[in-house]
Amino acid sequence: DTEVTQTPKHLVMGMTNKKSLKCEQHMGHRAMYWYKQKAKKPPELMFVYSYEKLSINESVPSRFSPECPNSSLLNLHLHALQPEDSALYLCASSPGTGFHNEQFFGPGTRLTVL
Amino acid sequence: QKEVEQDPGPLSVPEGAIVSLNCTYSNSAFQYFMWYRQYSRKGPELLMYTYSSGNKEDGRFTAQVDKSSKYISLFIRDSQPSDSATYLCAMSAPPGSYIPTFGRGTSLIVHP
């Protein structure tokens, strides 16, 4: 299995809702990432988990809460989002955090906040 | 000056053309270079990655790194309409700095 899967593909939520994005990989990768991507912009790093521990939080607002239940799964919990949070949310994984750090991306979740 | 510069395009070419996509960078510590292809509203797909300088070929794609000029290229031979996408370069400075820095992407249109 050489892919990263993400669910759901699309999500529409109101500003008072709580929802979660899910990501899964079975490549044995030890680092997993959440990115946010706006139209015509490169991906913007949000969080990094290395060996199931949060290693980087790029000053993301607390309405985004990551979780790594095990080495294959990554969640992003969403609460009280704003319309400007509407974007494509990408999960990625990489073999490690040393020389082999090429990232493999999932298809993304397109989030719309009303 | 941004760490990674990439012309956003769009670059429009006829089917069958050789396409050259390029990025320049300013951080001399970068030594791991990646190219991604991203179709509209999809996640980026890793096309190729190279370590340090030199060329790497995979089918119709060739990645080239010139560290002395801080310049990387992706060549696509015999371009097809299905190659129409945004191409992102990314680079990192392992082992200490493994998070890639992305270029803004070049939009490529291959017309029949």
Low-confidence spans in chain A with pLDDT less than 50: none
pLDDT tens across B13-59, in order?
A: 999 999 999 999 999 999 999 999 999 989 999 999 998 888 999 99
Q: How far apart are CA A45 and CA A29, in angstroms?
A: 18
| Cβ-Cβ contacts under 8 Å, B45 against chain A | 105
- Band (pLDDT 50/70/90 cuts) for residue B96 is confident
**CA atoms A66, A98, B101, A56: torsion sign:** positive
Distance between B43 CA and the closest CA of chain A, angstroms = 4
**Interface probe with B: pick from A101, A105, A109, A112, most Cβ of B within 10 Å:** A101
Output the CA–CA distances (angstroms, integers) from residue B67 to A58, A66, A101, in the order listed.
29, 37, 19
Q: What is the structure's pLDDT at A1? A: 62
Chain B CA closest to residue A88: B41
Q: How far apart are CA A96 and CA A29, in angstroms?
A: 6
